[in-house]
Amino acid sequence: MASVGARKLLTFVTGNPGKLREAIAIFGEDLPWKLVSVKLDLPEFQGEPDEISIQKCKIAMEKVKGPVIIEDTCLCFNALNGLPGPYIKWFLDKLGHDGLNKMLAGFEDKSAYALCTFSFHSGKEGDEIMLFRGRIDGTIVPAAGDNKFGWDPIFKPIGYSRTFAELDGDSKNAISHRSKALTLLKQHLQ
């Protein structure tokens, strides 16, 4: 298995620099693992979040021989029974922040949740793909804050008066869907 010093390499396959930046910060340096990345535009599958994550991980496993992770993020509007969910990337791309807000114009319920699923495979034949999930609940609001990463400007976590985009990186990482999922993965790796 590839290693740096005493540390084993864990390869995160993603085409998204925002995810990578946050994952590196959350993963930290306290494990006997070093997180490295491979930039690849993975296919956008359809289906339920777990199925999508497993399919995505299988593609990553073809590219990376060794321990590998991928991540899939859904943004689910409760008024729309969980949509756009795994399809949020295309909805955001085509409609923008304003259009996503307008989708909820006819509903009183503006609540939503972000769901992050990390998939891990050890790289050993016969081992199963393992899933680690994190969720945060919030509200969809008109865009506020720096437009640096995806739908951050329109997601206001419950209990906060500011959107993800208005929080600094450490504050987002302390509570986010991504950090909850990655913390479970880290516990497994320990």
149 is in an annotated binding site: yes
Residue 90, φ and ψ in degrees, nearest 5: -75, -40
Query: In this structure, which long-range contacts are made by residues 126-129, counting pairs with CB atoms below 8 Å and at least 24 apart in sequence?
Result: 129/53, 129/54, 129/57, 129/58
Closest CB to ligand ITT among residues 71, 132: 71
**Closest distance of CB 6 from ligand ITT, Å:** 29
Instruction: Name the site residues for ligand ITT (rule: CB under 6 A).
Output: 14-16, 18-19, 42, 44, 71-73, 88-89, 92, 149-152, 164, 176, 178
Query: Taking phi first (over 0 means left), then psi (-120 to 50 degrees means alpha), and beta for anything else, what does residue 57 get?
Result: alpha
**Closest distance of CB 83 from ligand ITT, Å:** 14
CB 75 within 8 A of CB 84: yes
Closest CB to ligand ITT among residues 89, 110: 89
73 is in an annotated binding site: yes
Closest CB to ligand ITT among residues 90, 107: 90
SS3 of 134, please? strand
Q: Which residue is nearest to ligand ITT (CB)?
A: 150
**Closest distance of CB 5 from ligand ITT, Å:** 28
Q: Give the distance, in angstroms, between the CA of residue 174 and the centroid of all CA atoms in the same chain.
A: 14
Closest CB to ligand ITT among residues 178, 180: 178
Q: How far apart are CA 121 and CA 188, in angstroms?
A: 12
Q: Judging by DSSP bridges, how do beta strands 84-85 and 7-14 pair with one another? A: unpaired
Binding region: 14-19, 44, 56, 72-73, 149-152, 172, 177-178
Binding region for Mg(2+): 44, 72
